[in-house]
Structure 1
Amino acid sequence: MKAVEVTGSIDEQGNLRIDEPILGMTNQSKVRVIVLFPEAIEEVDPDDTSIEEVKASLKRALQEAKAGQRIPLSQMWEGIDAE
C-alpha cells in the first residue's frame, strides 16, 4: 500500500474536498482515508505575519533602499535596550 499526504477541507455537507488532485494514480480503486483535525479552535498567533505582508514589506524596503532612504546601522540600535 502506498501513502500520499494531501491537504483538504470538509464542506458543509461533511464531504472531504482535497486541495489538489493526486497525480500518478493509474486505476480508480478504493482508498483508505485518515482525517486529522485540531480538537479545539487554534488561536491566531499575533506574531505570525502573512506571506503577503512580508512580501509587501520587503518590496517597500527595497524601493526605499534604491531611493537612498536608508538609516545607518549605528542609528538602528539607538533606543533599543538589548542586554
Structure 2
Amino acid sequence: MKAIEVTGKIDSEGNLILDQPIREITYPYQVRVIVLVPEPTAAEEIDPDDTPVEEIKASLRRALQQAKTGQTRPISELWDRIDAE
C-alpha cells in the first residue's frame, strides 16, 4: 500500500475537500482515508477576553478616519489620562 499525504478541509456537510488534486494515481481508484484532526493547544484555545478580529478592524478604520480628519488629541493629554488610571 502506498501512502500519499495531502491537506484539505472538511466542509459543513462532512465532505473532504483536498487543497490540491492527487496526480500520482490513475482514477477511479478505491482508497482508505485517515483523517488527522489537530487538537487545540492552550495557545489556540479561545480566550473570552480576546477582542474579535472584526471589532479590531472596525476600531482601526475609525481611528484612521479620525486621524485623517484631524480628530486627534495631544499626546500629553493621553499621558494625563493614563496616569489618572
Query: What TM-score, normalized by structure 2, do the two folds share?
Result: 0.57
Aligned residue pairs, count: 72
Shift of 1:24: 2.8
Shift of 1:46: 3.1
Q: Which runs of 5 or more structure 1 residues have no equivalent in the other structure? A: none
The 8 Å contact of residues 6 and 18 in structure 2, kept in 1 or not, is answered as: no
Kindly indicate which of the two structures has a greater share of residues assigned to helix: 2
The runs of 5 or more residues in structure 2 that have no matched partner are none
| Bigger-Rg structure (1/2) | 2
Which residue does 2:64 correspond to in 1? 62
Equivalent residue in structure 1 for 2:22, among 6, 9, 25: 25
Query: 1:49 is matched with which residue?
Result: 51
Q: Distance in 2 between matches of 1:17 and 1:37?
A: 20
